[in-house]
Structure 1
Amino acid sequence: LYNMRKVMKDDSVASMLTPIDKMKINSAMIKGKNLIEGKQNHDAFVFVDFLKELESTVESTLKKVNKSYSDEDSDSD
């Protein structure tokens, strides 16, 4: 979560994300923080499943950003 929060604060990355993608990632990070800090006793597998979901969301978003970036590069050639 720390690394993802750090990436989201990076303007060069955040500026390439759509508001919907930012909302999805931020919402997932809040959910993760609540799982960590929550007073409920969650099983480890719940948190592991959450991390996999968050990783999938971030990877999907970054793939879209990279595709968009590479499309812009090919248009300028």
Structure 2
Amino acid sequence: MSVLAEVVRELLGMFVADARLTLATLALVAVVAALLLAVHVAPMLAGAILLVGCFAVLIEATVREARRRRR
């Protein structure tokens, strides 16, 4: 049982380690879902927005971490 608890703790730690990355990704998913439901954008367009948005969030988090480590 302790191995399972340790695995769960590690998985949670991965998501909580960078709270801004997690929150930005969740916000992006919420915005895309709202676009799909409220505005009725095409699913391919919503997927493209999600893909580009995830890349943008990841690049921003990487640049922020690189700047933090440089100091």
Name the TM tier (shorter chain). Answer: 0.3 to 0.5
* RCO comparison, higher one (Cα < 8 Å, 6+): 1
Normalising by structure 2, we get a TM-score of: 0.48
Looking at CA atoms only, which structure, 1 or 2, has the larger radius of gyration? 2
Structure having the larger proportion of residues in helix:
2
